[in-house]
Amino acid sequence: MSTLEDVRPVELASESWLSPGGRPDSLMRRKHGLIGAPVSRIDGPLKVQGKATFAAEFPIDKMVYAALAYSSIAKGRIATLDTGEAEAAPGVVLIMTHRNAPRLQPMPMILTGAKALGGDNLPILQDDRIHWNGQPIAVAVAQTQEQADHAASLIRATFEAEPAITDFAEAKAKGVEQGQFFGHPLKVEIGDAEKALAGSTAQIDALYSTPRHTHNAIEPHAVTLAWKGDELVVHDTTQAVSHCAWTLATVFGLDESQVHVTSPYVGGGFGSKTFWQHHVLGAAASKLAGRPVRLALSREGVYRLVGGRTLTEQRVAIGAASDGGFEAIIHTGTSAMTPHNALPEAFILQTQTLYRADSFKLCVDVVRLDMLANTFMRAPGEAIGTFALECAIDEMAVKLGMDPIELRIRNEPDQHPTQGKPFSSRNLVEAWRAGAERFGWAARRSTPGATRDGEWWIGMGCAASTYPYNRFPGGAARITLSRDGRARVEIAAHEMGMGTSTAQTQVAAERLGLEMDQVTFAYADSGQPGVVMAGGSQQTAAIGAAVMAAQRALVAQLLQLAGNDSVLAGLSPDEVGGLDGGLARLDNPSQWESYAAILARAQRDEVTADGIAPPPSETQTWSMHSYGAMFCEARVNAVTGEVRVSRFLGAFDCGRILNSKTAASQFKGGIIMGLGLALMEETQFDERSGRIMNPSLAEYHVPVHMDVPDIDVIWTDIPDPHAPMGARGIGEIGITGAAAAVANAIFNATGKRIRDLPLTLDKLI
């Protein structure tokens, strides 16, 4: 029998990668061919020509435009609402308020059901109640966007305010609750960590804080939609077309088949392109107006309607023996959320995974504030949890006089530290070694403030990064193979700019034994198979597993069609795979017949197969995570406190990399977002009124080109035998660890330890 490496394109039995002792997906070992190749985006030319149609660009006949008016109190009721002037304004079709809006079900809130997608479950425009400062109170619908915006500005409201909780300290004083994540309490206790800490030779015990963040995808949220009788067609920008269709159907009392959602291009999601009140208001206004409606949120609209990352206060305490071995890790704290959402910041997740210790005490408490519902934002939990943990590790390295990389490697676990499961594949130490070598870590001076270039202090810092491999249930795909040797792969998945359509075309072509230009990857339509969320860095695995299942069903059908006259006669689906435009015997690829010949002999023009991905049992058996080692060089101006990141390197261990070009962009994009998290991003929330005070990119700062140095990314490319294609997720790993690497570099440069994000110059002078 040939080895995996030299039977180039032939598939092994499907799903064996799931079970202990099973055989991994053979695509993970492909050395040549499409897997890993730096293929440019297949949608790139469309995008640079402006021919990729985004949600707010779909034309519909007789369409009208919507704009929103917002509350200016955090809690209470609308006392008076005067829409007369707005209704009389030029081009106005209607003004929708709680008085005339259709009666609707609340939107099912994300994490409360398999396809529930709502950011909250509040009955907006169903009564006169106000739940947050910025909540929509009216929708102006007009012939043009400008007329709608003008009419919205003419809506006059007064409010009866009620006491609201908008102050974090006040909310904490009322008491905290145990935080829950996906139905599980965010709490782990192993041994007596407080006692172990007290008895340790070296102790670190520090408080870290992280602010609110608002989503700023380059494409603001928008829907263009039309009712056709009782059916609703929606052009959305979403990370979850099937969930969106079901959620809208539930709100309007329809069957999900009556709602058809497409989202072919998404200008960034990061966890925010789920389902918010503008979906409901747009569809309701369209129903009321009897016209197709476009509701495109302004940038301010995104700040008022779409939640982001919420604030946290975190304590990290570490007790170590004199040799650096951890005796206690404590990571506890409080996250703010609202009475109407299901997501605290799960900032302890990475602390369960990264290091071994004799004892652990991990807990997330929550308090409830009257504010816009917070939500997922790229590596929710981990992005800010690694800031606290990885700064504390750096503080411990300083205390012990150890190199921070060596301290981390000293505490590298050989199994999951708090669950005891074996790792599917963990090569973080290799990432540390390769990254340190390439970054020139050996030249770092461990004494803070030792390197200066004129006015600038220069320092180097590092941090570990991790994010789980996820694969949510619901993956399904359809493959249609035609006699001309072309295949169409359909799955209700998403392209948010990360390169999914390109990488998945590569994978499907390789799996089928076709060229890339013979494969069409059709996605982002709720009519397609699968309930796939482009979130949790899981979409690649979800699609991969579904396409594996569909391909196996296709092979079974083809073998049946091939019949007794084929060289493949008598073989089972597990014994053959795709090769050079046909099927070949696994252990003897010269036993081959083309797809065209099989279909011609059977007098078929095409064959279609559906497959359902198996349940994600791999994550029950193994601890599966992506890892990274982050390196930062920062320059801090001794006079002004200005920080410039001058170099950054990420060394990643994420299994097999499927497209080295789009993957590098994902890693770099995550790191850039991490630089924003470290140095500038902060939603200014007025704790007296609950108002977001900086709802624009003029006052909410994200990194621009001048803020971003050359970023170097490398990866181990060691396949994970328990993941489809050997690949773990890469979408969220880049942001985790990045802020700590910056903070640790700043400490190395200046000797100043800032534990409160963002690391702005006022904290450094």
Nearer to ligand MOS among residue 26 and residue 238 (C-beta):
238
267, 536, 676, 721: residue in contact with ligand MOS (rule CB under 6 A) = 536
Q: CA-to-CA distance for 300 and 730, rounded, in angstroms?
A: 30
643, 708 contact by CB (below 8 A): no
Q: Cis peptide before 758, with omega less than 30 degrees from 0?
A: yes
CB-based burial, 238-262: b 16+ in 10 Å, e otherwise: bbbbbbbbbbbbbbbebebebbbbb
As measured in angstroms, the least distance from the Cβ of 588 to ligand MOS is 44
271, 282, 301, 670: residue in contact with ligand MOS (rule CB under 6 A) = 271
As measured in angstroms, the least distance from the Cβ of 133 to ligand MOS is 24
As measured in angstroms, the least distance from the Cβ of 181 to ligand MOS is 13
Q: CA-to-CA distance for 541 and 28, rounded, in angstroms?
A: 12
592, 576 contact by CB (below 8 A): no
Select from 221-229, 349-357, 376-384, 590-598 the region that touches ligand MOS (CB under 6 A).
Answer: 376-384
**What are φ and ψ of residue 485, in 5° steps?**
80, 25
Nearer to ligand MOS among residue 314 and residue 537 (C-beta):
537
As measured in angstroms, the least distance from the Cβ of 332 to ligand MOS is 23
Q: CA-to-CA distance for 152 and 146, rounded, in angstroms?
A: 10
Residues 325-344 contacting ligand MOS, CB under 6 A: none
* Sheet containing 582-585: order of strands: 576-579, 582-585, 588-594
> Residue 136 carries which side chain, given as an amino acid letter?
P
Q: Which two tokens stand for residue 94?
A: 């209607």
Q: Which two tokens stand for residue 131?
A: 């739940």
Q: Which of 327, 633, 681, 732 is catalytic?
A: 732
Number of residues that bind ligand MOS (CB under 6 A): 11
Strand 293-296 and strand 180-181: the pairing is unpaired
Helix/strand/coil percentages in the chain, nearest 5: 30, 25, 45
Q: Nearest-CA neighbor of 634 among 544, 555, 747? A: 747
Residue 108 found at the interface with ligand MOS (CB under 6 A): no
Nearer to ligand MOS among residue 427 and residue 736 (C-beta):
736
Nearer to ligand MOS among residue 36 and residue 269 (C-beta):
269
56, 141, 222, 377: residue in contact with ligand MOS (rule CB under 6 A) = 377
Nearer to ligand MOS among residue 383 and residue 692 (C-beta):
383
Residue 86 found at the interface with ligand MOS (CB under 6 A): no
Q: Which two tokens stand for residue 749?
A: 């440069």
Q: CA-to-CA distance for 7 and 26, rounded, in angstroms?
A: 9
Residue 732 annotated as catalytic: yes
> Residue 490 carries which side chain, given as an amino acid letter?
E
535, 628, 729, 737: residue in contact with ligand MOS (rule CB under 6 A) = 535
132, 246, 376, 622: residue in contact with ligand MOS (rule CB under 6 A) = 376
Q: Nearest-CA neighbor of 7 among 720, 580, 721? A: 580
Residue 378 found at the interface with ligand MOS (CB under 6 A): yes
As measured in angstroms, the least distance from the Cβ of 534 to ligand MOS is 7
As measured in angstroms, the least distance from the Cβ of 214 to ligand MOS is 14
Nearer to ligand MOS among residue 338 and residue 537 (C-beta):
537
Select from 333-341, 349-357, 371-379, 719-727 the region that touches ligand MOS (CB under 6 A).
Answer: 371-379
Nearer to ligand MOS among residue 211 and residue 269 (C-beta):
269
Q: Exposed/middle/buried for 220, CB within 10 Å: 0-12, 13-18, 19+?
A: buried
Distance of CA 754 to the CA centre of its chain: 27
Residues 719-748 contacting ligand MOS, CB under 6 A: 732
Output 397-403 pairs: Cβ under 8 A, ≥24 positions apart. Answer: 398/747, 399/202, 399/203, 399/204, 400/202, 400/320, 400/322, 400/324, 401/446, 402/324, 403/446
Q: CA-to-CA distance for 483 and 359, rounded, in angstroms?
A: 62
Q: Nearest-CA neighbor of 70 among 99, 97, 52? A: 97
Select from 98-106, 372-380, 715-723, 751-759 the region that touches ligand MOS (CB under 6 A).
Answer: 372-380
Residues 215-254 contacting ligand MOS, CB under 6 A: 239
Nearer to ligand MOS among residue 376 and residue 432 (C-beta):
376
Q: What is the DSSP string of 499-534?
A: SHHHHHHHHHHHHHT--GGGEEEEESBTTSS----S
Nearer to ligand MOS among residue 107 and residue 533 (C-beta):
533
Nearer to ligand MOS among residue 598 and residue 673 (C-beta):
673
Nearer to ligand MOS among residue 171 and residue 379 (C-beta):
379
Residue 674 found at the interface with ligand MOS (CB under 6 A): no
24, 136, 269, 319: residue in contact with ligand MOS (rule CB under 6 A) = 269
As measured in angstroms, the least distance from the Cβ of 269 to ligand MOS is 5
Q: CA-to-CA distance for 39 and 464, rounded, in angstroms?
A: 29
**What are φ and ψ of residue 333, in 5° steps?**
160, -170
Query: Left (φ > 0), alpha (ψ -120 to 50) or beta: where does 628 sit?
Result: beta
159, 265, 270, 355: residue in contact with ligand MOS (rule CB under 6 A) = 270
As measured in angstroms, the least distance from the Cβ of 378 to ligand MOS is 5
Select from 122-130, 370-378, 395-403, 523-531 the region that touches ligand MOS (CB under 6 A).
Answer: 370-378
As measured in angstroms, the least distance from the Cβ of 274 to ligand MOS is 8
Residue 373 found at the interface with ligand MOS (CB under 6 A): no
User: Distances in Å between the alpha carbon of 330 and those of 319, 335, 380, 505?
Assistant: 9, 16, 20, 45
User: Distances in Å between the alpha carbon of 298 and those of 276, 304, 666, 697, 700?
Assistant: 14, 10, 26, 11, 15
As measured in angstroms, the least distance from the Cβ of 243 to ligand MOS is 12
As measured in angstroms, the least distance from the Cβ of 271 to ligand MOS is 3
**What are φ and ψ of residue 352, in 5° steps?**
-75, -15
As measured in angstroms, the least distance from the Cβ of 536 to ligand MOS is 4
As measured in angstroms, the least distance from the Cβ of 155 to ligand MOS is 33
Nearer to ligand MOS among residue 264 and residue 535 (C-beta):
535
Select from 268-276, 286-294, 559-567, 641-649 the region that touches ligand MOS (CB under 6 A).
Answer: 268-276
**What are φ and ψ of residue 549, in 5° steps?**
-65, -40
Select from 216-224, 265-273, 283-291, 586-594 the region that touches ligand MOS (CB under 6 A).
Answer: 265-273
SS3 305: helix
Shortest-Cβ-distance residue relative to ligand MOS? 271
Select from 248-256, 269-277, 319-327, 676-684 the region that touches ligand MOS (CB under 6 A).
Answer: 269-277
The DSSP bridge partners found for residue 481 are: 487, 607
Residue 380 found at the interface with ligand MOS (CB under 6 A): yes
Q: Which two tokens stand for residue 604?
A: 């078929």
Nearer to ligand MOS among residue 211 and residue 271 (C-beta):
271
Residue 690 found at the interface with ligand MOS (CB under 6 A): no
Select from 85-93, 139-147, 322-330, 375-383 the region that touches ligand MOS (CB under 6 A).
Answer: 375-383
Q: What's the DSSP call for residue 680?
A: T
> Residue 353 carries which side chain, given as an amino acid letter?
T
What residues act catalytically?
732
Binding site for ligand MOS (CB under 6 A): 239, 269-271, 376-378, 380, 535-536, 732
